[in-house]
Amino acid sequence: MVIAKFREILAVGKQAAKVFYRQRFNPRKLNELEVRKQYQTEITNRFAALENLKDYEGVNRTWENIKENIKTSAKESPGLHELKQHKPWFDEECLSSLDQRKRVKIQWVQDPSQSNLGNLNNVRREVSKHFRNKKMAYLRVNLRNLKLTVRSKTLGTCIWVSLTLRSGTSLDVI
């Protein structure tokens, strides 16, 4: 039991220390001639400014300057890679709920009292309920739109079939 709690404490500590959002640059924009030229001029200007620095700073400091210059030039010219949103129903409200759950879990790990455990369970339940409701609302809207689309296409097909037959008989396809 003690080992399991200790492992959970370590796991939560490692997760809290990680930064989940990482900036990624968009190298595909460098295929455009205008963006590529702008990036090349920015890099050459920044490296020209680096040559004026003093030589006694050391290798590590010089490397940090080079790395920062490349990063800032890449942010300005090609820009950052835009992340895809895999769950369209996941919005800022869901993100704040997720942060709240994480804070409560860290609080429980730091002080594993019975009241903190009850608070953690309540927050977990509420956040899960919130996610479920958001997802269901999103799916309801999409299902309603899909039904309307199918009905309109089916009615259009029925009208087309009745016009092409012109025999006076009606077809009930719906």
Per-residue pLDDT of the chain (174 residues; tens, 9 = 90+): 666 666 666 666 555 555 455 667 777 777 888 888 888 888 888 777 777 666 666 778 777 877 887 777 777 777 766 667 778 888 889 889 999 999 999 999 988 899 999 999 999 999 999 999 999 999 888 888 877 776 666 655 555 444 444 444 444 444
CA atoms within 13 A on the CB side of 80: 10
pLDDT score at 121: 94
pLDDT score at 35: 82
- What is the C-alpha R_g of the chain? 29
pLDDT score at 10: 64
Q: Residues 6 or more apart from 97 whose CB is under 8 A from it?
A: 126, 127, 130, 131
pLDDT score at 53: 64
pLDDT score at 174: 40
Nearest Cα to Cα of residue 17 among 96, 109, 146, 81: 109
